[in-house]
Amino acid sequence: MQTAKNDTIQVALIGAGGMGQGDTRYATAIAGVKLVAAADIYDARLARVKEVYGADVFTTRDYREVLARPEIDAVIIATPDHWHATITKDALAAKKDVYCEKPMVKTIAEGQEIVAAHKKSDRILQIGSQYASSIVFEKAAQLMKAGAIGQLNMVEAWLDRNTATGAWQYSIPPDASPENIDWDRFLGNAPKRPFEPIRMFRWRNYNDYGTGLAGDLFVHLLTGLHVITGSLGPTRVYSCGGTRFWKDGRDAPDVMLGVLDYPKTATHPDFTFALRVNLACGNVRENFGFRFVGSEGQMTVQLNGLTMEKVPRETEPGYTIDTFAQSTREDFLRSYRKQYPEQRPNADSIKSQSETKFNAPPGHSAHQEHHRNFYQAVRSRKPFFEDSIFGLRTAGPSLLTNTSLWEGRACKWDPVKMVEG
């Protein structure tokens, strides 16, 4: 199936929670995109879809009924993480184009399966980590490629939050019951257990269904890093953290730090990536950013803009000779001043320091642009770069930070073969 250039792209939503309905708003804000079907395991969310998008929207608890409908061109997959791989493979097999929320998969093995399924299909598959479509990140990539801060040697990234919803304390509806929720379908391949609505509505808190800070937020940070540097991924991954503040029964950490070593490539030297997420940061509601540290300056990147600071390197290396004997000091200085003659300061010798800012244009939304890129790809059949391979190259190392935390060890990763080393 190929959508004609001027035809309406008919979309189905699978997983009508907060992210799914948010994705749908961005999608339907694009001319020629229409929601025609939705699947969710909670009846009230399906009712909400009809309230917003019309009574004629087909709704079901069983996503397979959506995939069986021939009029549907593309699907948005916004389920809990443990369902991503199964539904993505089924959607590709059903000849649907796929927008799948990050992380693409819950396990690295699933990632290999998705890459294989995508290669066999003729479908568009785009992962929903929207930083890939940020115009600010695109500008940062241009500056990095041009050597604006010299040789890159370290990158720091952070995402701090201090709100209950930011820490995944989502509302639980008062009518939640086995009658209006398909609990068995929610569990899927997760361990069987009695009905417990908190685990469904706050699923990110539980490792049975989600991937914690690694899959929800580290993937975003790796996406930004890979876009800006052109990196394929790290070779070594280590992390630490734990549940420090949200003592609410969750088994996913609320503080996590990772250190990833990136190898030298044809486009950049080797560097270290340090990242952190804190869901109980007491001085800010939410703060996100990157700091790229190079030999000639540094670049701080956020969603709404970037700042580049450059400080000229000293022309002399300087010396540390105070502990030498007097005669040795004199010999050293004679040799040093032959190579670096002493200059009397003057106006021309004052070195300039610079700070350059680039701001996103008013109204720019990486979320909106990411959906625009997807539906443009659906029409043109020219895929956006955040495909299954890009998705595994960000999800794989992120998932290994969980492994490192749980097993107390550093993990190796092959960024080319996309397997644990």
pLDDT over 70 at 184, yes or no: yes
Is the distance from CB of 380 to CB of 391 less than 8 angstroms? Answer: no
Is the distance from CB of 88 to CB of 76 less than 8 angstroms? Answer: no
Residues 72 and 60: their CA atoms lie apart, in Å, by 14
Residues listed for the chain: 421
- pLDDT band at residue 311 under the 50/70/90 scheme: confident
Residues 287 and 221: their CA atoms lie apart, in Å, by 13
44, with CB counted inside 10 A (0-12, 13-18, 19+), is middle
Question: What residue ranges do the domains of the chain occupy?
Answer: 9-130
* Per-residue burial over 83-122, b = 16 or more CB atoms within 10 Å of its CB, e = otherwise: bbbbbbbbbbebebbbbbbbbbbbbbebbbbbbebbeebe
SS3 breakdown of the chain: % helix, strand, coil, rounded to 5? 35, 25, 40
Global pTM value: 0.93
Q: Tell me what pLDDT residue 4 has.
A: 46
Residue with tokens 């989600």: 210
User: What is the per-residue pLDDT across 376-395, written as a single tens digit (0 to 9) for each?
Assistant: 999 999 999 999 999 999 99
HSE of 363, CA atoms in CB hemisphere, 13 A? 0
Q: Tell me what pLDDT residue 5 has.
A: 46
In a 3-state reduction of DSSP, which class is residue 304? coil
Task: For the domain made up of 9-130, give the CATH fold.
Answer: Rossmann fold (3.40.50)
Q: Tell me what pLDDT residue 314 has.
A: 76
CA 293 to chain centre: 20
User: What is the per-residue pLDDT across 22-66, written as a single tens digit (0 to 9) for each?
Assistant: 999 999 999 999 999 999 999 999 999 999 999 999 999 999 999
